[in-house]
Structure 1
Amino acid sequence: MSTATAEADLTVQTAEGPVRGKTAGGTRTWRGIPYAAPPIGELRLRLPRPPAPWRDVLDATDFGPWAPQRTRRLLGGASPGTPRSENCLTINVTAPMQPSGDPLPVLVFFHGGAFTSGSGAMGIADGSGLSAGGNVVLVSMNYRLGALGFMDFRPYSTPERTFDVNVGLADQIAALEWVRRNIAAFGGDPGNVTIFGESAGAMSALTLMCIPSAAGLFHRAFLQSPAPSSAYGPELASGFASELLGLLGVGSGGAAEALAEIPANALVDAATQLSKKIIPDAYPGALSFAPVVDGSFLPLHPIDAFEQGRAAAVPMVIGTMENEGTLFEKLDDVLPTNQARIEKMFELTAPGLRDQVIAGYRGYPHKKQAVEIGGDAVFWHPSIQVAQAHAEHAATWSYRFDYAPRTARVAGLGATHGLDLAAVFGTYDSGPGKNLVRLGNKRTAANVAHRFQSALLRFARTGAPGPMWPKYDQTSRRTKIFDRYDRIELDPRASRRKAWDGYRGWR
C-alpha cells in the first residue's frame, strides 16, 4: 500500500464529520470519536444527546478520557496519570490494515469494572490482534459509570432540574446507533454486529438484549461472566441513591442543586465508599451500581425478560469462570464470600432456601465453599438461569473457562473472574496479561486463547461458535469447558445447580 493510499485510508467521512486515524499494531485505528454530546452542564445525569457535527478533519489518533473513576490497577484499570473526565462519550474503531472488498463482521466490546471503572482503552482489551488476526472490525467505547451513569436520582428531580435513569446503558445504545450510522465507512457490516463484554460489560450486553430501544442494533451476543441478577427495582435503587447522598452530606431538599454542582471526584469518592464499605455488608450479593428496572426503558428484570421470551431472540454464547469468587475474596472484597455475608444474604433475600442451597456446598462454612457460594450467587447461577431460558427461544451455547496460568494458581486465584480477557483478546504479551504468564505456561495460554478467540470469531461470522460445540438445552445442558484440553460436559455441577433452584436474589 503506497503512503498516499495509506493516508487516504486513514481519513474517514462519518455522518458527523471527517476523522483521521493512524496505523497501530498492524491495524488501522481511530480513537476518541465523539458518539454523543458531552454529558456535562445541563446534560449531566440526562439521557445522551446526538453529537454536534464538525467540518474540519477530527484528529482521532488518541483515546478519549476515561469516565471519572478511582485509580484501580486491577486488570489494567486506571493509573494515577490516566486522563479522566465527564466528557467521556467517545468511541474507538480498529480495522485490519488492508481494506476488504466485502463488509466485515463487527465486534462491539463493552468493558467491565462493576459499572464503576474501566475503559475501552484498557491495555488488556487491546483489539489489534483480534481485528488483524480475525479480519473483523472491532469497536469499543467509554460510557458513564458509577453515580453519573448507574444510579437513580429521579426522586430528586425538580421542575428546574430533571434527572434520567439508566444513562450509562443509554450511552451504550447511542454508541450502537453510531455503529449503525457509520461503521460501513470503516469497512464494517452494520447488518452483522456482535456485542460482547466481560463482567459489567457482559451484564451491559445482556441487559441491552432486554431493552426495546436497542432492538435491531445488534445480531449476536457473546457474554463473559455477566451478573444477570444485578438489576434492581426503583425502591432498592433509590435507597442506594439516598445512601450516596448521605455520604456526601446532602439532604433531599437541596439534592437537585447539589447533584448538578458536586465535582465528579467527590461523587467517585462517595461511590467508592458506598460500594466497598457499605453495600457489601448491608446488602450482600447486591452491587451498588447496576441497571434499574424502571418499567419503561428497561421494562422487566433481565432474568424475567429471558424467562418470558421477551429478550432479543438473537444467538447467544454465555459462560463463567471456574473460580469466579476468588478474585473478590483476595483482591476486591465486595461479594458474599464469608459466612456472615452469606447468612445475611439468605436472611434478606430467601431465608426458606438457605438450607437447600448450602446443602450443595459440602464443607461450608469453610472458606473455600464460602468463596464458591459468593461467586455462584452473583455470576454462575444467574447465568445458568439465562442460558436455560434463552435456549427455549434462540440458539444458545454455554461454556465454563477453567484454564488458569501458573501465576494465577500460585496466587490461589485459579481460573478466576476476568482472566479470560487476556485470552479473548490474545494479550498475554503486555501489561496484566504478561504478568499472568510470567511464571510460565505462555505457550499453553496462547493455545487456549486461540481456541477461545476462534470461537468468538466463528460466532461473529456465522452465528455459531463452532462445530465441536453443541447448543445448550434444558435436557442435556451440554457445556464447553475451555482448559488445557477442551471438552464437552453434560450438566456440569448438576447437584449445585439444583441446590439453587428457586433462588431469585435481590429482585
Structure 2
Amino acid sequence: MNTAGVPPHHTRELSASAAREFAYQAHLRAREAQAAAFDALSDDLTIRTSSGWVRGEILEDLSPDRPIMNGEEPGRVRSWRGIPFGADTSGDNRFRNPRPAQSWQGIRDCREFGQVAPQPTYSWTDRVIGSEDCLYLDIVRPDSEEKLPVVVYLHGGSFIVGSSHMLMLRGYQLAAGMNVVYVSVNFRLGALGYLDLRSLGGDCDANPAVADQLLALHWVQRNIAAFGGDADNVTLMGESAGGAAVLTLMTVPQAEGLFHRAIAQSPPIAMIHSRTQSRFWARELVKHMALPRATSVEDLRREDCDDLIRAGQSMMWRAGELLHLNSCYSPTVDGKLIPEHPLAVFARGGEHKVPLIIGTNSDEASFGKFLFQRQSARNRAGLRLLASFDEEHAPQVVEAYGGAVARADFAALLADALFWAPAVRVAGAHSRNAPTWMYRFDFAPPAMKFLGLGAMHSMELSNVFGDPQASRASFLTRVGSAQEMDHLTGAMQRLWAKFIHEGAPGQDWPSYQAAGGRETMIFDAEPYLEAAPQERRRQAWEEYDMLEWGSGRRDLLATFGLLVEGKTAPEE
C-alpha cells in the first residue's frame, strides 16, 4: 500500500483497518474450511442445523412384539436426541419468552436426551427433577432417504409434568409404522411455563410455554429438511394438555403457516385461564412460597427453582379448587400471544383453516365414580363444578346426566365437562371452515372393564404410538385378547398415517359435519361409525358458557376488583 503523503496517524489507522480485514477474511476461510471438513465427514446421521452440527445414531426397532404394519416389520430408525432449540430459561430469562439456542462449534453428540422441564415427581418425597435449561427436542425417522411428512408432538401431563421423551412418546414405532419424521418437544411447565404472573408486577410474559412451542415450530421450519422432513407438510399433534396446546396454537396468529394439519386427542381446551384464575393462582403461589403479599416477579426470579415447583405442586392439591374445575396451570388469554379464548376464535371462524382430527375417550374421568359416597353429594358437586363458569345453565346440563346422582353419570359429567363437550364444540365450529374428523375411543381390555375404569384418559396412546408395553397401565392391558389390541392398533395407525400423509383419513371415516349427521368414528375392538353420539347431552351443553371461569365465583371477582354491578368486568 502506497502511504506517501499520508499523515503517520492515518497510516496507523489504515494499517489497523487492513489488519482487521485480513483477520476477518482469515476467519471466514477457517470457517469455510471447517464446514468443508464437516461436509466431508457428514453422513446420514451428521446434520447441520441453524445452531450447529448434530450427530445421532441408528436404533433397531425396540419393540419386536408390535403388530406388523403394511406387510412387513418396521426395522431401524435414525434418532437425534436432545437438540437445543431454545436458550437456558433460568435467571433473568425466567418467566420470559424464550430466545433461540446459542450456536456451538464442532459436532454435538445427540445420542442422549436433554433435561426435562422442572417438575414434581409425585412420590413420597418432595424431590424435583429437571432443569430450567430444558428447551430441547428429539427427532426420529425411518432409516431411509425418503422425504417424509413431519409430526411435531406436544406432550400431555396436566401442564405440570411430562417430557418429550416419556417412554410412550419416544416415537420409534410411530415413525417407522407411519413412515414420518417425528419431532417431540420439551417446553416449560407449571409455574415456570403456564402461570400468568403479570398481576404481581414486574417484567414478564404471560405464556412462556406457548412461546416455547412456537419457537420449536419455527425451528422445525428452518431445519427439518436437513433431516429429510417436508417443511410444507407438518402435522401438529398432542394429547391431553398437549391436545389443548394444539388447539390453542390453531388460534395463535403468530403460528400461521407453521403447521398444515392438526390432531388433538382429549384436549381440555375449556381450561384456558381467565383473568380471575391468573390472579388467584399468582396470589396462591406467593402464599405457598411463604412470601409477602407484595412479592413481585423480580422477587420470584431470585427464588430457588425447586422451591417454586414444590409450592406450585402444593397449591394444586391444597387450594381445593379442583372441585370448581379451577386448574392451577393453563395457557392464559393475554391479549397478545393469545388474543382471545380459543373457543371464541373457533366460534367466529378465526382459527387456522387446517384439517383436524379431534376426539376423546369414553371413560376419561372414570375415577369420578369413586369420589363421593352419597347421591346428594354427587348432585351438589356436579352443580358446583359447572357453576364456576355459568350459574344460569349449569342446572340444565346436570339434569341431562340424570342429576349426576348415579356414580356413572357423575363420572360422565366430569369427563364431558373437561374433555368431550369442549371438543364437540371445537369440532362443530371448525367443520364449518375446514375438514374435520371426530372420534371416540371406547376400547378397554377386560381387566379395565372389570375394575369399572373402561377407556380411561390417555389409553388410546398405546394404539396410536403402536407400543402397548410403554403404557403405565400395561400390566392391566396385557390381560385380554392381544389380537384385538393389535387389530385396533393397526386400524388407528393406518388412519392417522393417511391423514398425516394426505390430509384426510380416507373414505371409511367421513368428515364431521355440524350441520349434518355429526358422524363420529368409534374405536373399539371393531371400529364403527355412529351418527351424533350422545345428542341429548350435546344439546344440553349448547347454551352453557365455557369461556370465562370465575363468572360464578362472585367472592373471587370482588376480591380482584373484577366485579362491576354484579357482572364480570370487561377485558382490559
Quote the residue 1:227 is aligned against.
Answer: 268
Partner Cα distance (1:138, 1:6) in 2 = 25
Deviation at 1:233, TM superposition (A): 2.5
1: distance between equivalents of 2:525 and 2:362?
13
In structure 2, the CA distance between the partners of 1:247 and 1:505, relative to structure 1 (3 Å rule), is: same
The alignment status of 1:356 with 2:396, answered yes or no, reads yes
Mapped pair 1:418 → 2:453: no
- List gaps (5 residues or longer) in structure 1: 74-78, 332-336
Cα 1:80–1:8 shift into 2, 3 Å: farther
124, 135, 144: which one pairs with 1:89?
Answer: 135
- 1:353 corresponds to which letter in structure 2? H
Corresponding residue SS for 1:85: coil
TM-score, normalised on structure 1? 0.92
Letter of the 1:284 partner, please give it: H
Is 1:399 the counterpart of 2:439? The answer is yes
Residue pair 1:313, 1:394 contacting (<8 A) in 2 also: yes
What letter is aligned with 1:479? T
Structure 1 residues 363 and 255: CA distance shift in structure 2, 3 A: closer
C-alpha contact 2:82 2:113 (8 A) present in aligned 1: yes
Render the CA deviation track for 1:246-272: whole Å, top value 9, x for unaligned: 111122423334311222221222211
What's the C-alpha RMSD, in Å, of the aligned pairs? Answer: 2.2
Contact 1:327 1:417 in 2 (8 A): no
After superposition, the Cα gap between the structure-2 partners of 1:473 and 1:431, relative to the gap in structure 1 and judged at 3 Å, is: closer
Return the letter of the residue paired with 1:115: F
How far apart, CA to CA, are the structure 1 residues paired with 2:130 and 2:390? 40
Q: Which letter maps to 2:310?
A: D
Letter in 1 for 2:503: G
Match of 2:408, SS state, is: helix
- Give 1:72 shift: 4.5
Q: For residues 124 and 190 of structure 1, do their structure 2 counterparts lie closer, same or farther at Cα, with a shift above 3 Å needed?
A: same
Report the CA distance between 1:274 and its aligned residue. 2.0
2: CA distance between counterparts of 1:173 and 1:346? 32
Larger Rg: 2
- SS of the equivalent of 1:448 reads helix
Q: Which residue of 1 aligns with 2:345?
A: 305
In the alignment, does 2:85 pair up with 1:35? yes
Match of 2:481 in 1: 441
- Aligned residue type for 1:141: V
Task: Report what 2:55 is aligned to.
Answer: 20
Checking the alignment, whether the CA contact within 8 Å between 2:344 and 2:547 is kept in structure 1 is no
8 A contact 2:152–2:237 mirrored in 1: yes
What secondary structure does 1:32 align onto?
strand
8 A Cα contact 1:65 1:88, kept in partner = yes
Contact kept, 8 Å, 2:120 with 2:129, in 1: the verdict is: no
Residue of structure 2 equivalent to 1:242: 283
Q: Provide the C-alpha distance between the structure 2 equivalents of 1:209 and 1:72, rounded to a whole number of angstroms.
A: 32
What pairs up with 1:122-161 in 2 under 5 angstroms?
122-158=166-202
1:235-314 aligned at under 5 Å gives the runs 235-281=276-322, 284-314=324-354
- State the match for 2:150 in structure 1: 106
Looking at structure 2, the residues matched to 214 and 279 of structure 1 have their Cα atoms a distance apart, in angstroms, of 35
Alignment equivalent of 1:45, drawn from 80, 84, 95 = 95
TM-score (norm 2): 0.82
Residues 123-147 of structure 1 show CA distances to partners (whole Å, capped at 9, x for unaligned) of 1123111111221100001100000
CA shift, 1:465, in A, is 1.2
Partner amino acid for 1:354?
Answer: A
Structure 1: distance between partners of 2:179 and 2:85: 24
Q: 1:109 to 1:40 in 2, by over 3 A?
A: same
Counterpart position of 1:215: 256
1:334 maps to none
Say whether residues 1:344 and 2:384 are aligned partners.
yes
Distance in 2 separating the partners of 1:250 and 1:385 = 41
C-alpha deviation, 1:327, in angstroms: 4.5
Query: Residue 558 of structure 2 corresponds to which residue in structure 1?
Result: none
Alignment check: 8 A CA contact 1:96 1:132 kept:
yes
**Identical residues among aligned pairs (%):** 37
Please list every run of 5 or more consecutive structure 2 residues that lacks an aligned counterpart in the other structure: 1-39, 62-75, 372-376, 549-572
The answer to whether the Cα contact below 8 Å between 2:440 and 2:522 also exists between their aligned partners in 1 is yes
8 A contact 1:224–1:318 mirrored in 2: yes
Code of the residue aligned with 2:165 in structure 1: it is A
